[in-house]
Structures are given as C-alpha cells and as structure tokens.
Amino acid sequence: MPYWEANYVSTLSSTSKMKLFTFYAKQYLINPAYINASMFDSAWASLSYYGLKRDYCNLYTFIPWIEQEVTSTLLDLYGFELAHDTRSTWRIGDGTSAFYNYIYYNVAGFTENETFRSNQIREGLLTREKALELVRTENQPRFESIKWYCDTIGISFEDTIERI
C-alpha cells in the first residue's frame, strides 16, 4: 500500500496508544485543575483521533508535493491560472504573499520560499542547488501583485514600497 494511503494514526501500536492514554490519565490525577468542563470534549477528541477508524486521506500530510506532478495536474486538468509576475505556482493567489514576502526579504533577508524549498530538500524532492536556484528567482519582487494588493486594501503603493 502506498504510504499516502495509510492511516497515520494506525501506525501507532496499541501499546503506544495505551502509554499515551496512561500518560494523560496520570496528568489529570497529578493536576486536578485539568478536571473541568472541557475534560469531556478533550476525552472525546482524543478518542476520535486515536481510537476511531478514519476513512480519509489528509491531502497535506500524506501526498507529497511533487511539483511537476501537482503543477501539470492543476494546469492540464483544472485550467489553473498562473500569475503574470512569477513562474512559481505556489502562493500566487491574491497578492498577499507577494506583499509580506517583499517585507520579509527586505527586513529579514529571507521569505517563506526558503522554508518551502527547505522542506522539499528534507523530503528528498529537490537538491539544495535546485532549491537555491528557485529561491533566487522566486524572491524577486512581484511589484505587479504588490501594487494590485495595495490598491485593493486602499494604501499607496509608492508610499508603501518607500517605507519598506
């Protein structure tokens, strides 16, 4: 069975689940402040998560982001629109990410692109060299999207860029 079809919680052994529940029970006994009106909701949530069989696949946890595959699926099957000011298909929705990534890059020297690409390196989906190449391109200011965003939220593009 492919790993993305596996139920994550089922990978916990019965022994591990018992240890977990024993730990929680001990914490409730040690600290009686845990015994309150939310205790039943917490118990039901734990039982639902660890005890009941779940028959679904959490897309973001179990399906790897293989960019070529995801991009071709979005473009070919769903007619996904691309942004005019970047070649990336990640975080291109409404201009918000272009805006805050511009701020991050100018203030801190990095953006969320580094985080995204670092995760792909750790997953074995990209080499470090390819990730660095992509990040250099993706961190270019997306002024068209930033202007659209500034106009949408009612702030001056010129003043905003100058302040940043």
Read off the pLDDT of residues 91-129 as tens digits, 9 standing for 90 and up.
Answer: 777 789 999 999 999 999 999 999 999 999 998 999 999
Confidence band of 62 (pLDDT split at 50, 70, 90): low
Is it the case that residue 50 has pLDDT exceeding 50?
A: yes
Domain ranges for the chain, please list them: 3-60, 64-163
Could you tell me what percent of the chain has a pLDDT over 90? 50
Confidence band of 10 (pLDDT split at 50, 70, 90): low
Most confident option among 10-14, 50-54, 72-76: 72-76
Confidence band of 3 (pLDDT split at 50, 70, 90): very low
Confidence band of 71 (pLDDT split at 50, 70, 90): confident
Tokens of 75: 């473009």
pLDDT value of position 59: 67
Distance between CA atoms of residues 80 and 160, nearest Å: 30
Contact call for residues 62 and 4 (beta carbons, < 8 A): yes
Rounded to an integer, the average pLDDT of 41-55 is 84
Distance between CA atoms of residues 118 and 101, nearest Å: 16
Distance between CA atoms of residues 4 and 88, nearest Å: 25
pLDDT value of position 68: 87
DSSP character at residue 47: I
pLDDT value of position 12: 77
Cα angle value 71/74/77 (rounded, 5°): 130
